Amino acid sequence: MIPPRDKLTICFAHAAYQMTTCFDALNTGIASFEVRDRAELDRRAQEADVIVASGMWHNGLITTASRLKFIQSISSGTDQYDKPALAEKGIRLASAAGVNARAVAEHAISLILAMARRLPEARDNQASRHWRGMIGDLTRREDELGGKTLLIIGLGRIGGRLAQIAKAFDMTVIGFRRDPGAGAGAADAVYGLDALAAHLPKADFVALTCPLTAETQHVINAKSLAQMKSSAYLINVARGGCVNETDLIACLSGGGIAGAALDCADPEPLTADSPLWAMPQVLVTPHTAGETTQYENNVIAILLENLGILWQGQDALRNQVV
């Protein structure tokens, strides 16, 4: 059982997020402390009944954090957690799914617009003080989104929101999800991943907004890239492991697709020697799609809701994983 409010201690573990500042502003009366690196987390984990973490988590804490009863993930993804081991220890786990759906969808449409409007090229021209003249070659001009086809792999909260935004730009949206019967939402059509190959040749943009699972591991690879138009763009705001990076680099180097906008890499951070850094047709953002000024407060709202559920002795957590 989780300790009562006056006996509970929460550990916020993140290298940058201001979790404690935002939590303290709520005057909950719940004890908490903050750690900024993994070594400090290892030293103090045994003091916590609840750990709020994401990338700093490692599964050795399952045995060393002796008081741990509940983990609230700061991120939507939970592939870093050993779920069977947590279940065996009776440690509950909830994700932050949906906490940044609006932000990530907005980032995705920003990347789509950036590629269509050739903003990376414009920024490079600005840095070199080059005022580009008019262009006769239609393939090198900026483009419009209206009438273009967007494939969204992962039509969940983020993908569904992206579909809504894309429709406002008069795009045709085709979604892919594990259970097509769950609905298309704003998308014009929805299919299972087994139908992806049939629709890739139609796409002007392919956006990844899916979790990393056995089914989506390297869902974008040499074969799927070869099925895309040479004028198409890949947008990844999901996980780096959803793309075979070696295949993507080879495809981009050979002009197989027009470009890629990537908010994630495999591994992260993107290695300094990766060819992706220097490719003019590639835009890289450092896994910041979900970061906004509201992120900490959004996560804390889920945390407090789940603590209330646990204190009431109920079983079903919000965004329950274990």
Enumerate the β-bridge partners of residue 183: none
Asked if 169 and 145 touch (Cβ cutoff 8 Å), the reply is yes
User: Distance of alpha carbon 2 from its chain centroid, rounded?
Assistant: 30
Q: Closest Cα to residue 263, out of 242, 239, 230, 232?
A: 239
Asked if 238 and 210 touch (Cβ cutoff 8 Å), the reply is yes
DSSP states along 143-154 = ---TT-EEEEE-
Question: What does the H/E/C string look like for 269-293?
Answer: CCCCCCHHHHCCCEEECCCCCCCCC
Q: At what angle do helices 119-127 and 101-116 cross, to 10 degrees?
A: 70
268 part of the active site:
yes
- Token representation of residue 66: 């002796």
- Catalytic option among 107, 239, 245, 296: 239
239 part of the active site:
yes
Residue 260 makes CB contacts below 8 A (sequence gap 6+) with 233, 234, 235, 236, 248, 252, 276, 281, 282, 283
DSSP states along 158-226 = HHHHHHHHHHHTT-EEEEE-S-GGG--TTSSEEE-GGGHHHHGGG-SEEEE-----TTTTT-BSHHHHH
- Catalytic option among 268, 291, 296, 305: 268
Asked if 237 and 104 touch (Cβ cutoff 8 Å), the reply is yes
Enumerate the β-bridge partners of residue 152: 175, 207
- Token representation of residue 39: 């070594």
Q: Which residues are catalytic?
A: 239, 268, 287
